[in-house]
Structure 1
């Protein structure tokens, strides 16, 4: 089975061109959370300029502090959670989760700032230092479809980049790109959803919003991504996304950067398997957008990742 994304195809939309391309049961909290600097500077196996030996199976990238805090709470439930400071001053969290067939080694780090460029650089740092075959972008997004509620989680297997455009006297003519996750990850998402279904009800030992029995829904589908923050229901971006793909679920500001970085690397690294965006819905991408539900959405996204990790153990052996 090939793990590589499909080749790009061109699609004319609204005056522009759209390219189509591309049960964890952790038990203990490790109380040692003081950052540890690796004595030689860079993380083991990597240098500031050279490739790393694979020291993680899944890399997690976040942007906001609420997103990173929620991911860290999940990682702290494992017995071997540890914190390291890497070359350049960044902090990474590492942990190992149990899965059928063997452990899943996870490394998580936070991008320096919001936006597609910082996300692409964060992805490259994860890959260069730890070489994880899978990379997850985990955090929050604004829902733009009626059936996607605040607190729900979107598993995005397609990213629609909405930034590229030509400005004309008649308004912008957008030239977006659609990039899809690799087939291997789509199969893993299928298995995950067959097991868990579309409605999630956290158990007493799970990280959740503190309300017993509170559930949220999982959605799978495309999201829009670009550097523009959307806070208007009449936004040209929202209208264009609905025209490009009527099932677009949410908007955010990092996934297209990570997807492009993956796309440009895939032919150079045969161990690279895929990327996935996991987004908790924190608002409706309208004038009421704010910070009130950031932590709720981030916790739900992190909890979903906790359940998803056992499905992401890379297959060993020849391919």
Structure 2
């Protein structure tokens, strides 16, 4: 059976759907008849895949029914179930992600003193999807889809079984807890829908991957973990990894299935590397300090700009006037601005600037579109700890974030010129130390001794088509230039 270029992404809860939706700006609603199931569709930029996002509701039975319905309608290449789960292993931290190698069904029912009589049923997740997941985890390419949450800790990915049943486990002292330890000891997480989705995918002959963020430890501390934002954080991490996996899939070939294009199928020639060209003169560039009035207490901030080459990208005034609302919508949709945050900024004849500043200078995020066609975005660097004023300069982490910010500015709804100059900077750059994001900082750290900005040079342009295919290479180059500039003062 010929598969479509669609990938069905299922979630059970609204916060899980919201975490995926943040990566799908412009998704269109489609109501399935006669059932009324709502599908949100959007093409994931740069992949050729159309994502079909559906919220199933909680529980194995509900998830199975909705999954079967949506699979029959979409005839997808793959199904990915994304959401949160309770942890079952002490070496897996809250916020980490479990990509299920298999789904282990345990019987549903009440978790009482009566004994459970297990009837084990297991589904293995798709080998090809798991291979891609392992690849994007090893190369850290999925991290560019992570939303900044103000912490310096990066989630780890674990490839382990997941237990699935109709019981919310929140104690280690019960018959269910003992059942899991005795009969499902390999399971790293417990949740309530994957068994139903696995059964539906198996019946339809569709490849399945289950991705779960760990929101609590299922040991009686769930209420405290939820109150601390554990569910939202875990959902965002799972969604980011799922999107990273999809972005890592081979280009779709609807005639032959996922990543199995025939030898007779014409394939586009891959762009091997960015088509850099040295400029004889640097273009007019406005750094963040010229877009946003600086505060005396603002944190060290990473900024990324795409500056057009030539004048063909100059925007009409009507586009500039409408840009502020569009920037706010894009920022909220991509997680740059939280839904609850008030967005500040301005729109005038020079362009539109939208930004959010946290209280006491603890954060700073923004988006801008100038009439010249320049696109800009920025975000605060991660800190060494929640109570410190020192930010971290980590070149590898910068690569990931620059790639994500490049994707963000490319998503701004405005015409792109033929060529642009990508630049990046860190300003202010005084209270910054070289370190690794996620490392434990217990003693004094060495602070950069210069108060000058860390900036790349605006000396090379790249074709916008090449940029969209080589975002990671461009991000690597900009991060390397920042790395070189970090230890020397600007003259």
1:133 positional shift: 1.9
1:318 positional shift: 5.5
Q: How many residues align?
A: 249
1:237 positional shift: 2.6
SS in 2 for 1:58: strand
Q: 1:311 aligns with which of 227, 230, 248?
A: 248
Q: 2:17 aligns with which of 68, 93, 106?
A: 68
SS in 2 for 1:216: coil
Q: In the TM superposition, what whole-angstrom CA distance separates every residue of 1:222-278 from its partner, at most 9, and x where no partner exists?
A: 011000111111233333333334331110000011111222332xxxxx3x11111
Higher RCO (C-alpha under 8 Å, 6+ residues apart): 1
| Alpha-carbon spacing, 1:82–1:214, altered in 2? closer, same or farther (3 Å) | farther
Counterpart-to-counterpart distance in 1, 2:29 and 2:58:
23
Report what 1:250 is aligned to.
189
Report what 1:283 is aligned to.
216
Counterpart-to-counterpart distance in 1, 2:114 and 2:3:
51
1:215 positional shift: 1.1
Q: In the TM superposition, what whole-angstrom CA distance separates every residue of 1:109-128 from its partner, at most 9, and x where no partner exists?
A: 111x3100111112112211
- Larger mean Cα displacement after TM superposition, 55-64 or 128-137: 55-64
Q: 2:166 aligns with which of 227, 241, 245?
A: 227
Q: 2:95 aligns with which of 134, 137, 151?
A: 151
1:171 positional shift: 3.0
CA RMSD of aligned residues (A): 2.7
Q: 2:62 aligns with which of 89, 97, 118?
A: 118
SS in 1 for 2:211: strand
Counterpart-to-counterpart distance in 2, 1:183 and 1:316:
14
Answering whether residue 25 of structure 2 is matched by residue 86 of structure 1, we say no
SS in 2 for 1:74: coil
Counterpart-to-counterpart distance in 2, 1:115 and 1:245:
20
Q: State the TM-score, normalizing by the size of structure 1.
A: 0.70
| Alpha-carbon spacing, 1:68–1:192, altered in 2? closer, same or farther (3 Å) | same
Report what 2:115 is aligned to.
171
SS in 2 for 1:75: coil
Q: In the TM superposition, what whole-angstrom CA distance separates every residue of 1:108-158 from its partner, at most 9, and x where no partner exists?
A: 1111x3100111112112211111121011110000100111111110121
The structure with more radius of gyration: 2
Counterpart-to-counterpart distance in 2, 1:278 and 1:284:
17
Report what 1:105 is aligned to.
50
Counterpart-to-counterpart distance in 2, 1:122 and 1:170:
32
Counterpart-to-counterpart distance in 1, 2:222 and 2:152:
26
Answering whether residue 232 of structure 2 is matched by residue 295 of structure 1, we say yes
Answering whether residue 154 of structure 2 is matched by residue 215 of structure 1, we say yes
- For structure 2, which runs of at least 5 residues remain unmatched after alignment? 251-257, 264-491
Larger helix fraction of residues: 2
| Alpha-carbon spacing, 1:282–1:209, altered in 2? closer, same or farther (3 Å) | farther
- For structure 1, which runs of at least 5 residues remain unmatched after alignment? 1-50, 267-271
Counterpart-to-counterpart distance in 2, 1:157 and 1:281:
16
Report what 1:263 is aligned to.
202
